[in-house]
Amino acid sequence: MKKNCCIVFMLVLTLLLFPATSLWAQSSKVIKIGAPIPLGGAGGAYVGIAWGYNDCQSYFAAKGGIRGYKVVYLVEDNRWDVITEIAVINRQLTMEPKEELLLFCGNLITGTLKALSEKINKEVRIPSIALSYSVEMFGSKGGPSKYPYYFSFGPDYSQQVGLLLRYIKRDHKKDTPPRLAVVYSPTEYGRDPLSDLKEDVVRLGIKIVAEEEMAITASDVTAQIINIRKAQPDYIIWHGFLPGMLVAPVFLKTARQYLPKVPILGTHYQTTLSMILAGAQAADGLIGVSTQVQWEETNNPFVRLVHEQAAKSKRQFPAGEPPNYMGGWILGLMAAHAVDVTVASGDVSREGMKKALEKSTWDFDGMYEGRKFSYASHKVPMARIYKASFAQKQWNPITPWLNADEELK
C-alpha cells in the first residue's frame, strides 16, 4: 500500500512539474557563439578586445537577451596562434550541442580559416565571422562560392588597396601618371593583395616604380628606403604590418627622413592608434583605410554607445587600447546581429543563420553614418580613408564611408 502511494505521488508530481519544466526550458532558449580571441600569448596584452566583447555581452544580458534567446559568448583564449585557435574551435564544436552553437565570431586568424576550411564549410557547416581580410578567403579567388560559411568584417585587402589607389588617382595633380612604391612584409599577409594590386594599377594608369619587402623583425630598413628614393615615387603604399612589429616604426621614421614629402598610405591594420603612438612624429600625415570607425568620432551613434558602456563599466584603458575595445564591441554586436536576424527568420539553426546573414542589410548600429550594407558578398563592404594627426593622437576622416563593392565596380 505504502509503495503504491509512493508511485502515485511520483506520477502526480511528474504531471504537475512537466508543464513547469517545459515552460522553463522554453524561456531559457540559448544560442551559443564561439568566440576565440587573444587573452594570452603575443596578443594577450590587447586587453581591449576582451573587455569590449565582455561589455557587449553584459549589454545584451541586461536587455534580457535577443528576441527571447539568451546569448552565450564562449570566449576562449586563442593566444593569437593558429594551432591554439584550431584547438579551441574543435573543442567547442565537439563539446557544445549543435542546435545551440550556431556561430563562430572572433579573431579567426587567416591560417585557422585555411586549415579548417573543409571542416567548417563542408562538414559542420557553421557560419564563422572572422577578423581576417584575406584576399584568398574573401577576395575574387575565394568568397561565398568557395567558402560558403565564412564571413568577414570588412573589404578584403585587395579592395582596401583598390580604395587607396583610387584615392591616389584623385589626389595626384601632376600631368604624368602617379609613381607608386609598394612596401610589404615577406609574409602571406603582406603579399596577399599584390597580384590584384598589379592588375589594378594597370587599369588606373598608375606606375609601380619600386617594390620592397621589409622583414617584420628588421631594425634597419635604410637600404630598402634608399632603393625607393632612387625610384622617386609620388606615393608609397605599405601593407602587411602591425604596430607591434619591430619594423613598422623603423620604416616610418626612416621613410620620413629620406622621403619627407612622399605620402604613405596603408591598409586597415596600419590605420590604428597604436601605429600613431609607435611612429610618433613620423606617423603624422599617414593615410590609411580603415574598416571601423575611430574611438574619437563621438558624433557617431555606434561610438557613443561604446563610450557609454565603457563609462558604465569604469574601464581604465592602457595606451592604445580604446580602438581594441571598440573592436571587441564590433565582434559582439555582429554576433548579436546574426542572432537577431536568425531568430527573426524563424529558422534557428546554423543553416538558418547563414541564410539570414546573407539576406540581411544593416547599418551596424549607425556606424556608417546612415549608410547600410548588404552581407550578400559575405563581407561588410564599408571602409573609410583617414589621415593621422600626431598632435591630436588620432585618425581624422578624409572621405565619407565608402562601399567598396560599389566603388570598385
The verdict on 186 binding other proteins (CB under 8 A) reads: yes
Listing DSSP states for 234-253 in one string gives SEEEEES--TTSTHHHHHHH
The verdict on 84 binding other proteins (CB under 8 A) reads: no
The verdict on 223 binding other proteins (CB under 8 A) reads: yes
14, 232, 281, 396: which one binds other proteins (CB under 8 A): 281
The verdict on 254 binding other proteins (CB under 8 A) reads: yes
Task: Name which of 45 and 87 has its Cβ closer to other proteins.
Answer: 45
Region near other proteins per CB under 8 A, out of 17-25, 67-75, 224-232, 326-334: 224-232
The verdict on 215 binding other proteins (CB under 8 A) reads: yes
> Per-residue x/- mask for other proteins, residues 117 to 156, rule CB under 8 A?
----------------------------------------
The verdict on 220 binding other proteins (CB under 8 A) reads: yes
Task: Name which of 46 and 60 has its Cβ closer to other proteins.
Answer: 46
The verdict on 262 binding other proteins (CB under 8 A) reads: no
Task: Name which of 115 and 216 has its Cβ closer to other proteins.
Answer: 216
Residues 6+ apart with CB under 8 A from 94: none
226, 232, 312, 392: which one binds other proteins (CB under 8 A): 226
The verdict on 213 binding other proteins (CB under 8 A) reads: yes
CB-facing half-sphere around the CA of 61: CA atoms within 13 A: 8
> Per-residue x/- mask for other proteins, residues 51 to 80, rule CB under 8 A?
------------------------------
- The residues facing 184 across adjacent strands are 213, 239
> Closest approach of Cβ 72 to other proteins, in Å?
28
Task: Name which of 243 and 332 has its Cβ closer to other proteins.
Answer: 243
Residue type, 333: L
92, 117, 152, 224: which one binds other proteins (CB under 8 A): 224
Q: With CA atoms as reference, report the closest residue to 360 among 346, 389, 386, 340.
A: 340
Task: Name which of 70 and 393 has its Cβ closer to other proteins.
Answer: 393
Helix extents (H) in 63-98: 82-95
The verdict on 319 binding other proteins (CB under 8 A) reads: yes
C-alpha cell at 18: 512537466
The verdict on 217 binding other proteins (CB under 8 A) reads: yes
Residue 255 near residue 236, CB atoms below 8 Å: yes
Sign of the CA dihedral running 222, 223, 224, 227: positive
The verdict on 250 binding other proteins (CB under 8 A) reads: yes
Beta carbons within 10 angstroms of residue 344's beta carbon: 13
Q: Report the distance separating Cα 271 and Cα 274, nearest Å.
A: 8
Residue 334 near residue 57, CB atoms below 8 Å: no
Q: Report the distance separating Cα 199 and Cα 14, nearest Å.
A: 71
Rg (CA), the chain: 24
Q: Report the distance separating Cα 261 and Cα 256, nearest Å.
A: 8
- Residues forming contacts to other proteins in the complex (CB under 8 A) are 42-47, 186, 213, 215, 217-224, 226-227, 230, 243-254, 257-258, 274, 277-281, 318-321
